[in-house]
Amino acid sequence: MAGYKVIIVGASGAVGQEMLQVLENRNFPVGELKICATERSAGQKIFFKDKSYIVEETTPASFDGMEIALFAGGEASLEYGPLAAEKGVVVIDNSSNFRLDPDVPLVVPEVNPEDVKTHKGIIANPNCSTIIMVVPLKAIYDFAGIKRVVVSTYQAVSGAGAEGITELTEHTRAALDDGQVIPSKFQYQIAFNLIPHIDVFQEMDYTKEEWKMIKETRKILHDENIPITATTVRVPVYRSHSESINIETYRKVTADQAKNILADFPGVIVQDSPANKEYPMPLYTSGRDEVFVGRIREDNSLDNGLNIWVVADQLRKGAATNAVQIAELVIKYGCLGKR
């Protein structure tokens, strides 16, 4: 067989579109491709490698004979993920539905690739902000251990889907024209504003997004004892999430050591030259698959502390690219069903 039988569920959305692009960019060995979405999106035409595909409505029969299912997110994986796994399809799910299930591996390929081997049919793709944070954290964790993490995020509107992008554009135009700004996707006007509220509020008045970063990071690093606190903020940027991360380590790590450790870690690009005003920014990381790290400096308030500034495209590495990388590991480790 020349390639693998791949189905994408939710292909008409932002993450689904990115998955198709990443499959093509990475020359993933697709032998047969099926593109599915909701009944509302069925019938749309989508191109992959210059070939036209018609979006099909997702049904139980959609998974017959397929080998790898990439779920772009939403509730579809709850309905169809276990069913697909029962049919021998390896499910890679971008939703939050299975991330904290102890029987489902939660994987970032640069961090815990071996966990792919433990899958029972479903592999979870972490939250985008978690992925972006845990890649550089792993480099520091392996070198010096981590005693505590404090993270604040600056998350682009595309993290809320196509509606978020549209709303930022509409709010910006309305605000500049002194028109009426009507929030819909977001709680308040997003243009020229910051909203410290992503997803619903939960225990201790942390949002679900903040708890995702805390709980998922512990699971990925296999360390339930790391104290982590997070504040997640929506900002008027179209694409790429940024994060300010303060790390307290068990042993001293100098800024120069941290730069070398991070530069040597897979998937990380160090962009750090204050004298030349070089540091990561969302405008210049969009469309890239790497995690960019800069503003690397020792925390002047701690003996063993570091501050780092991290930026990555949350639609690529934070979602689609990470999912396709997981699929590559499934093939590499021979974790597919019988062919």
Query: What integer pLDDT is reported at residue 288 of this predicted model?
Result: 97
What ranges make up the beta strands (E) of the chain?
Answer: 4-9, 30-37, 45-48, 51-54, 56-57, 68-71, 90-93, 122-124, 146-155, 228-234, 241-249, 268-270, 291-298, 305-312
The average pLDDT across 154-161 equals 95
203 pLDDT exceeds 50?
yes
Starting at the earlier edge strand, list the strands of the sheet with 241-249: 228-234, 146-155, 241-249, 305-312, 291-298, 268-270
Query: What integer pLDDT is reported at residue 187 of this predicted model?
Result: 96
Residues 59, 24: Cα–Cα separation, whole Å: 25
Tens of pLDDT, residues 253-279: 999 999 999 999 999 999 999 999 999
338 pLDDT exceeds 50?
no
CATH code that applies to domain 4-125+319-332 = 3.40.50.720
Query: What integer pLDDT is reported at residue 93 of this predicted model?
Result: 97
pLDDT band of residue 40 (cuts 50, 70, 90) is: confident
Tens of pLDDT, residues 208-245: 999 999 999 999 999 999 999 999 999 999 999 999 99
pLDDT band of residue 146 (cuts 50, 70, 90) is: very high
Query: What integer pLDDT is reported at residue 127 of this predicted model?
Result: 97
What are the residue ranges spanned by the domains of the chain?
A: 4-125+319-332, 130-314
Query: What integer pLDDT is reported at residue 42 of this predicted model?
Result: 86
In the chain, % of residues over pLDDT 70: 99
Domain 130-314: top CATH class: alpha beta
Tens of pLDDT, residues 72-101: 988 899 999 999 999 999 999 999 999 999
Residues 315, 324: Cα–Cα separation, whole Å: 12
Known catalytic residue at 128:
yes
Tokens 């994408």, located at residue: 8
Query: What integer pLDDT is reported at residue 39 of this predicted model?
Result: 80
Q: pTM for the full model?
A: 0.95
12 pLDDT exceeds 90?
no
pLDDT band of residue 179 (cuts 50, 70, 90) is: confident
Q: Is 263 helix (H, G, I), strand (E, B) or coil?
A: helix
Domain 4-125+319-332 and domain 130-314, same fold? Reply is no
In one-letter notation, the amino acid at residue 28 is F
- Kindly name the residue from 36, 119, 128, 171 that is annotated as catalytic: 128
From residue 213, alpha-carbon distances to 16, 128, 220, 230, 281 in Å are 23, 9, 10, 7, 21
Known catalytic residue at 171:
no
* Cβ proximity of 90 and 123 under 8 Å: yes
1 pLDDT exceeds 60?
no
Interior angle at CA 240, CA 236 and CA 246, nearest 5: 95
